[in-house]
Amino acid sequence: MHYNINSFLKALRIKYLNLIDFKKSNIRFLVAVSINSIALIFSVIWLISSNIGGNKDFEFEPLVTTFTLLAALFSLVFLNNKLTYPHLKLSIGVGIQSKTGKIALNIGVANHSFMKVYLSSIFLTVRDNGIEKNIFFLNDSFTGQYIKNEIDSGERLNFHLGKTAILLDDYQTSDYLKFTVKTQLGFEFYIKQDLIRQSIQSLNF
């Protein structure tokens, strides 16, 4: 019971910190977009009033201003995606523990985002009698320690998953479908099926 309460409080704290980071980024974005949108509306009004309903020559200045503000708006959206959405790069291989000679999958999660990323879950999807099931991981198979659930910007997280952890004795290599890392905000990143199976086959040697 005590463990469950601590786990709940820890998960709640991570969600709160992630929400604060997300709001900070989006507040700046919303202010910038609001100002740009107001200017864009006035620019469109200026464009219409200057060139419709009269016999005078077409005025290009409000047109250029409108296109400039549109370009600025698209740039803000692009930058916001870079600043507020996580970008993780996953890799998979095989590692050997020098002291014991144990062999395990070596998983790498590199954070290419501009912010710290908090992980929600790490799991492997398998086909069990025609039904897809997830095997969740909490511990490193070599050290026995909990896998870190936060990765700083520019940091790489590495951990190992042994045969017992991935239930290799219960499934065939072809039963393994995908490896997923999910963030607290619900973004999911995958390792391709062929890479997973290739690495798992190496564990059988």
Q: What is the pLDDT of residue 66?
A: 80
The structure's pTM equals 0.63
161: which strand partners? 105
Helix axes 2-51, 61-84, angle to 10 degrees: 170
> Which tokens go with 40?
């864009």
Q: Are residues 167 and 130 in the same domain?
A: yes
Residues contacting residue 29 through CB under 8 Å, at least 6 positions apart: 76, 80, 83, 84
Predicted pLDDT at 9 = 56
pLDDT of the residue at 96: 87
77 and 97 both lie in a single domain: no
Q: What is the per-residue pLDDT for 2?
A: 42
- Residues 140, 192: one domain? yes
Q: Are residues 71 and 167 in the same domain?
A: no
Question: Which range marks the domain in which residue 47 is found?
Answer: 2-84
**How crowded is the C-beta side of 125, counted as CA atoms within 13 Å?**
14
Helix (H) or strand (E) holding 161: strand 156-162
Same domain for 112 and 182, yes or no, is yes
Domain count of the chain? 2
For residue 45, give the nearest of 63, 71, 70, 72 by alpha carbon.
Answer: 63
79 and 111 together in one domain: no
Point out which residues pair with 188 in neighbouring strands: 182
* CATH code for the domain of 184: 2.60.40
Co-location of 96 and 129 in the same domain: yes
The continuous run of DSSP H or E covering 28 comes out as: helix 2-51
The residue from 37, 55, 84 where one domain ends is 84
Residue 1 is predicted with a pLDDT of 42
Residue numbers in the chain where pLDDT is lower than 70? 1-29, 53-56, 80-84, 204-205
